Amino acid sequence: MRDIRVALGQIAPRLGDFEANLEAHRRAAREAVGSGSDLIVFPELSLTGYLLADQVPELALPLDDPRLEPLLEASQEIDIVAGLVEDAPGHRFHNTALYVSRGRVLHSHRKLHLPTYGLFQEGREFAAGNRVRHFDSPWGPAGMLICEDLWHMPCAWLLAQQGAEVIFVLSNGPTRGAKPGREVTSVAVWRELLQITAQFQTTWMVYVNRVGCEDGLTFGGGSLVVDPFGRVAGNAPALDEALEVVDLKSDVLRRARTAYPLLRDENLELVERELARLRQLRYDLPDPAASTKKDKVV
């Protein structure tokens, strides 16, 4: 990877107001350009808001929709990572993250894991993605995940195994209270998860969470960057809008992967073999080895 200056665009999107949110992205992008940033990262569903319910079909856009032109124009000056509702072929609506650079969509990621527990109802509104792919950004190999994806360990592992050196995580993480004299609980939980992931995958982790309220739900903010050693390199405050600028250094990645050659030493054959065995057990599938032995006997 090359050195890169990243701006964390911790904003409070307006629910269902695409035009207002698009303008907020453009303002933040201009501010980030002024700070010398190469890239600005926004939260999950940053162009639409989160608790969309029956507004999902109204706000869904194909990725070549002309309404995205202002975002593409802004990306001529600075790369942009943003979230929206994608209207995919067959009118399958996805919670999607975009990497936009030099006037085009360079990569998109559809959220893989749609939570339907507690206060979350995403499985009723969206179709799940089914691919984990890294991509070549102008700054080096990278990957994107959306909120719940990071809580499923294989997602970040698969990106790292493909070569991703930076993983962008877009989130709509709500607050879960705070104890007197201590920080917002959800911020601390996310920081621990990101630090552990960064250490195990020896990757830079760039996490951007939204702030603001929707229908009584408060979002925690606390966006941050964690280096490949698991150290916090920069962070935004909880609860308030902010634009935090953080430098990602290539030499830090090199030192981490030299000290901890975890990716080099991964045994993919072992993983593949054991996953096949677990899949057979979980879904009560026939044992291929047993079938082969039977055929030989016959």
Catalytic residues: 44, 111, 147
- Non-local (6+) Cβ contacts of 226 within 8 A are 191, 194, 195, 197, 198, 204, 205, 207, 232, 233
Q: Are strands 140-146 and 166-171 parallel, antiparallel or unpaired?
A: parallel
Helix (H) or strand (E) holding 173: none
Rounded to 5 degrees, what angle do the CA atoms 291, 293, 298 make? 95
Structure tokens at 242: 């902010």
What are the CA-CA distances from residue 230 to residues 31, 37, 294 (Å)?
A: 28, 23, 51
Alpha-carbon dihedral angle through residues 216, 173, 39, 76, given to the nearest 10 degrees: -50
What secondary structure letter does DSSP report for 99? Answer: E
Check: CB of residue 85 under 8 Å from CB of residue 95.
yes
Rounded Cα distance, 203 and 80, in Å: 20
Alpha-carbon dihedral angle through residues 103, 170, 108, 60, given to the nearest 10 degrees: -90
Helix (H) or strand (E) holding 206: strand 204-209
- Non-local (6+) Cβ contacts of 245 within 8 A are 5, 6, 7, 8, 32, 35, 36, 37, 234
Helix (H, G, I), strand (E, B) or coil at 66: helix
